[in-house]
């Protein structure tokens, strides 16, 4: 079931993803590493087990589990699409996320929204702020990528999309192509196409 909402955030103006992935790096290894390169602005990363973010300047190969801060920039990620050396890439921006990858012959590269959850007031002020406050991440590309929000996940089918954790739930909006959304609250899966959006509503039992 597609859930309509009354407030639509402006769509960032961005150029299309090119077919060029970061060069001069060894191929990424499934379940172990990805290649990252800055496209625009300032991108920072935090290695697993560390407490500080470092600015990403030159292309680097980084381990799975790295956290990226793209709130002020855009990054292209190249990851293994199988266990035989094939790769895929997409670019991400306007959010903070932690990188993961599933196992198997065709692994999915996962991006879990990180950073501070929106401050959600209770009572009369809650309705007025539920759509306005959020943490989010834009993605653009093709391949097996999945963005994980608090109440749902969006798996790419070749698209430009955004996933936002809001006070009223996790919103997935598609600009181009389509994504498969897994609503973990309702335990259902829907396909969201260009021009559509889906809200996985926060259950009443969840902490605001």
- Cβ atoms of 21 and 14 within 8 Å: the answer is no
Angle at 182 between CA 144 and CA 34, to 5 degrees: 25
- Tens of pLDDT along 148-159? 999 999 998 778
Q: Examine the pLDDT at 49 and tell me if it is beyond 70.
A: yes
Q: Which has more pLDDT, 188 or 13?
A: 188
- C-alpha distances in angstroms, 136 versus 24, 103, 148, 172, 184? 31, 26, 10, 10, 18
Rounded Cα distance between 109 and 77, Å, is 10
Rounded Cα distance between 124 and 135, Å, is 22
Q: What is the mean pLDDT of the chain?
A: 86
**Can you give the pTM of this predicted structure?**
0.82
Structure tokens at 103: 């196992």
Q: Examine the pLDDT at 78 and tell me if it is beyond 50.
A: yes
- Let me know if 147 is exposed, middle or buried by CB neighbors in 10 A (0-12, 13-18, 19+): buried
- Tens of pLDDT along 120-162? 877 545 444 445 568 999 999 989 999 999 999 999 877 899 9
- Tens of pLDDT along 104-118? 999 999 999 998 888
Q: Examine the pLDDT at 102 and tell me if it is beyond 70.
A: yes
């Amino acid at each position: 079931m597609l859930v309509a909402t009354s407030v639509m955030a402006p769509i960032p103006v961005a150029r299309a993803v090119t077919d060029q992935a970061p060069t001069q790096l060894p191929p990424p290894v499934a379940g172990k590493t990805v290649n990252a390169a800055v496209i625009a602005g300032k991108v920072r990363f935090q290695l697993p087990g560390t407490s500080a973010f470092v600015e990403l300047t030159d292309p680097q190969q980084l381990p799975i589990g790295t956290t990226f801060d793209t709130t002020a920039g855009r990054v292209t990620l190249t990851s293994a699409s199988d266990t035989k050396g094939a790769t895929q890439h997409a670019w991400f921006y306007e959010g903070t996320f932690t990188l993961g990858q599933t196992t198997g012959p065709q692994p999915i590269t996962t991006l879990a929204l990180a950073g501070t959850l929106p401050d959600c007031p209770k009572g009369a002020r809650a309705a007025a702020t539920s759509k306005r406050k959020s943490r989010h991440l834009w993605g653009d590309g093709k391949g097996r990528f999945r963005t994980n929000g608090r109440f749902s996940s969006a798996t790419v089918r070749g698209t430009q999309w955004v996933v936002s954790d809001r006070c009223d739930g996790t919103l997935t909006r598609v600009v181009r192509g389509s994504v498969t959304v897994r609503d973990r609250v309702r335990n259902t899966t829907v396909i969201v196409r260009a021009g559509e959006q889906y809200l996985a509503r926060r259950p009443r039992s969840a902490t605001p």
